[in-house]
């Protein structure tokens, strides 16, 4: 029988640091936490299975950015399907990158829990991914109180 696990999706930089802090907190309350991951960086968190995904956007080339985002989303969607076939995934948690949108839609269609955490660097404007994930996720967290003005149904939980 497959073990019950969660899928975590994060990106480089602040997204990775936020996921590290979140996993540390989750392990305190659930020491036997099992998870699989998709990211554009190597796994340093001890996931059961880690799949690399291309970086979702090119910050320096606006013309290629939409194509890169679509490609990255498609890759992460295929990787999510592979993980769903291998593991009993109960839900998905993401700390921000665009590569989480398509897998999150898949998980909602499968009746799984989708949790999104808007970046701690957001105070007055929503990220592009946050705008999509606000309507896709079951639970949407913001880390700054001012973001409740933009996402009124979000939960404020403080900073990770």
pLDDT tens sequence across 11-48? 988 899 999 999 999 999 988 999 999 999 999 899 99
| pTM of the full structure | 0.90
What pairs with residue 142 in β-bridges? 156
Q: Rounded to the nearest 5 degrees, what angle is found at the Cα of 128, between the Cα atoms of 124 and 129? A: 110
Q: How many alpha carbons lie under 13 Å from residue 146 in its C-beta half-sphere?
A: 8
Residue 45's contacts (CB-CB under 8 Å, 6 or more residues apart) are: 8, 19, 20, 23, 35, 37
Which of 7, 17, 23 minimizes the C-alpha distance to 119?
A: 17
Instruction: Identify the band that residue 2 occupies on the pLDDT scale cut at 50, 70 and 90.
Output: low
139 has a pLDDT exceeding 70: yes
Judged by average pLDDT, the poorest of 5-19, 44-58, 102-116 is 44-58
58 has a pLDDT exceeding 70: no
**79 in Cβ contact with 51 (< 8 Å):** yes
């Amino acid at each position: 029988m497959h073990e019950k696990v969660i899928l975590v999706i994060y990106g480089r930089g602040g997204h990775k640091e936020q996921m590290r802090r979140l996993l540390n907190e989750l392990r305190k309350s659930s020491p036997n936490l099992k998870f699989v991951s998709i990211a554009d960086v190597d796994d340093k968190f001890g996931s059961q299975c880690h799949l690399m995904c291309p970086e979702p956007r090119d910050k320096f080339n606006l013309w290629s950015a939409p194509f890169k985002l679509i490609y990255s989303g498609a890759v992460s969607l295929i990787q999510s399907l592979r993980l769903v076939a291998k593991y009993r995934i109960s839900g998905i948690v993401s700390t921000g990158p665009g590569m989480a949108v398509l897998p999150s839609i898949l998980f909602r269609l499968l009746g799984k829990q989708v949790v999104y955490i808007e970046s701690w660097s957001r105070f007055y404007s929503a990220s592009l991914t946050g705008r999509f994930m606000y309507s896709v996720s079951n639970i949407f967290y913001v880390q700054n109180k001012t973001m409740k003005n933009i996402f009124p149904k979000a939960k404020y939980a403080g900073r990770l």
